[in-house]
Homo-oligomer: A and B are copies of this chain.
């Protein structure tokens, strides 16, 4: 197994954050990212970059963090008892984008690297990540293209990679209490190390780099679509599902909040404005019903 190199992963992540922010600024055409650097008492820190009230993006948050600790948190060793007592490093880029126009989907992407050290033993490490799309008024063309980009970037790593991580994504971003997927999915992977460091890192880079390739064309295509109060209302309502998922189920969010992570960076994923409405159901045959009927359940797109 090739030797893991945290330095080169970190350099990639910082560069990825820069490139994604630059790409989003270009798509927005108006607003810029502001940056907040922070440190963590227990070790490490990060830089949170946020764009607000843009022409295209109501809010976009792109976090980089690199945290270290003297001992693995209990929650991370429950299913990996062999890691108990090891020191660790975790680093990643995580982003959530809330566009203004309800015809542009919300999206989330994350790539991460974890390494657990122990004197006199080989480090234990793995990669994780993925990206997923949450449309309000979906276009089949957009969803197919999104998944085609995901599939294409997976292909060099094997024919089984896309189906496996597409399925994992559908399963992970699911709200049992609504019996809905969060959106139309994409890729989700974790615990990746079986092919060795170089190949695993290559895949993580392909996912990180693939995100804008997948998202930018959808933004370009939909950003001028006219919309009114009805579409805005539905977008705000559906953003409530995003909040429900992130606060009730998302492991990264809960782990962060419960282990003293930087709250403002973790909750950068929260939409700037959200609506709840008791017992709302879309009118049969409406564009809103189309989302529920055809997109909020796992489906083969490519």
Q: List chain A positions with a Cβ less than 8 A from chain B.
A: 36, 48, 50, 52, 59, 61, 176-178, 236, 240, 243-244, 247-248, 254, 257-258, 263-264, 266-268, 270-279
> Closest CB-CB distance, A88 to chain B, in whole Å?
21
**Contact, CB under 8 Å: B278 / A52:** yes
* A177-B257, A257-B177 known; A273-B272 Cβ under 8 A: no
What are the 9 closest A-B residue pairs judged by CB atoms, nearest first? A247-B247, A270-B276, A177-B257, A274-B274, A177-B263, A264-B279, A50-B278, A247-B248, A273-B275
Q: Which B residue sits closest to A246, measured CB to CB?
A: B247
> Closest CB-CB distance, A53 to chain B, in whole Å?
11
Tallying the copies of this chain within the complex gives: 2
Residues of B contacting A267 in the complex (Cβ-Cβ under 8 angstroms): 244, 276
Residues of B contacting A236 in the complex (Cβ-Cβ under 8 angstroms): 273
The answer for the CA separation of A48 and B279 in the assembled complex, in Å, is 10
> Closest CB-CB distance, A296 to chain B, in whole Å?
14
**Contact, CB under 8 Å: B268 / A272:** no
> Closest CB-CB distance, A51 to chain B, in whole Å?
10
Q: Which B residue sits closest to A240, measured CB to CB?
A: B270
Residue A257 contacts which of B248, B271, B275 (CB distance < 8 angstroms)?
A: B248
